[in-house]
Amino acid sequence: MNPHVIPDMPIKPLKRISPSKYFAVDPCILREAWAANHINELLPVIPTVRVGIIAHRILELTIKGRIRNHQDIDEIWKDGIKKFELEMHENWMEKHLVPLARNAWNYEVKKQKCILLAQNFFTNTEKASGKGQKYEAEIWLETPDGKVGGKIDAIKQLGNDIQLIDYKTGKVFDKNQEGKVIKFEYQKQLKLYAAMYYMNRGKWPTCLTIVELSQKEHDIPFHRDECMELLNDAVIRLEAIKQKISGINYIDEIAYPSPQNCKYCYYWPGCAMYWEHKQDSDKWPADCHGIVKEKRILGNGTLLLVLGRQEGDVVVSGLSMDRHGILKDDIREIYLYNLERTPVPGYFKQGILTTCYKSCK
């Protein structure tokens, strides 16, 4: 991938929908089509996400019996961090985010919580080993036609009791008028897995549980009919998406930009519809583009840009020319993503995830 240049981003019809993507597809088909086709991200992956992936891996290997002590955990953690940091160092968008220990929010807290959760699993497993308790990790479940499928983090079985477990390394609650509730999409994910478990093994789980790194467990109430309805809806949704993708003339037709849809997207630099819908509002990501009217090196060695736009000029300060090599060139127009807002309207500054491109597709 050439630095600061948007690559070709083809799409193909989706072959399968996973429980984790059940809610993501509907808001923006284009985003999920690119992700399903393994198109490289156009923005840096949030460092905390990398740490969460390593934590998930440790929990998976713990359940499989391949991690038995603190030393094993420490080795897997270090290996995971090293692998990610090598990849990030070769990525022009992410090399400044190395090391993860410095740039991932709550790095040490997440690491220690992961260690404690894994150690707690050792203890509980040893106590229950003589009672016939069984664990399975990262088990693939799917519908007979393969249209809906995914891996459940863990399955715990003791006698006739079957528990499906989904480990979450981030926030699990949303707020509504009644207070804190488990995120709607997380509840539905587990219910989809429950239906697929039944279709794969001929019996229903007795418990659906979300487990946080803090070891807090949250049981999700469910009804079998609701789970089957969700699964049927997922199949119908997949077929509708296939038809939409096959019937379009331009990919813009399946893009649905909004503050919520674009908030956690890694592809919006390649989405022309994004700029047509984006507004100068705190609800939208802090991005800007325009004609370069002024470039000025500040006393601290960083760069200040003044960009001309129809809506009015904007000023961006604190830009690192080492991070953004394109800024050393004589450029006429630029697109800047993941900036940080300042208290002054029309003034932005570089953030840890700021990325720039020459153009938008």
Q: Is the peptide bond before 99 cis (omega within 30 degrees of 0)?
A: yes
Coil, strand or helix at 316: strand
Domains in the chain (CATH in brackets) are 132-222 (3.90.320.10), 286-357 (2.40.50.140)
Shortest CA distance to 198 belongs to which of 129, 141, 272?
A: 141
Give the Cα separation of 40 and 266 in Å (integer).
9
What's the pLDDT at 315? Answer: 98
Each residue's pLDDT tens digit, 107-143: 999 999 999 999 888 777 766 666 678 899 999 999 9
Is residue 22 predicted with pLDDT exceeding 80? no
End-to-end Cα separation, the chain, in angstroms: 15
pTM of the model: 0.90
- If one compares 101 and 264, the residue with the highest pLDDT of the two is 101
Give the Cα separation of 20 and 261 in Å (integer).
15
Coil, strand or helix at 221: coil
Element (H, E) at 348: strand 347-349
- % the chain with pLDDT above 90: 72
Is residue 226 predicted with pLDDT exceeding 70? yes
Residue located via tokens 């487990």: 211
What's the pLDDT at 361? Answer: 61
Element (H, E) at 110: helix 107-128
Give the Cα separation of 66 and 60 in Å (integer).
9
Tell me which range, 10-14, 37-41, 279-283, 289-293, is most confidently predicted by mean pLDDT: 289-293
Q: What is the CA radius of gyration of the chain?
A: 23
What's the pLDDT at 224? Answer: 98
Give the Cα separation of 356 and 361 in Å (integer).
14
Each residue's pLDDT tens digit, 270-290: 999 999 999 989 999 999 999
Residue located via tokens 């016939």: 132
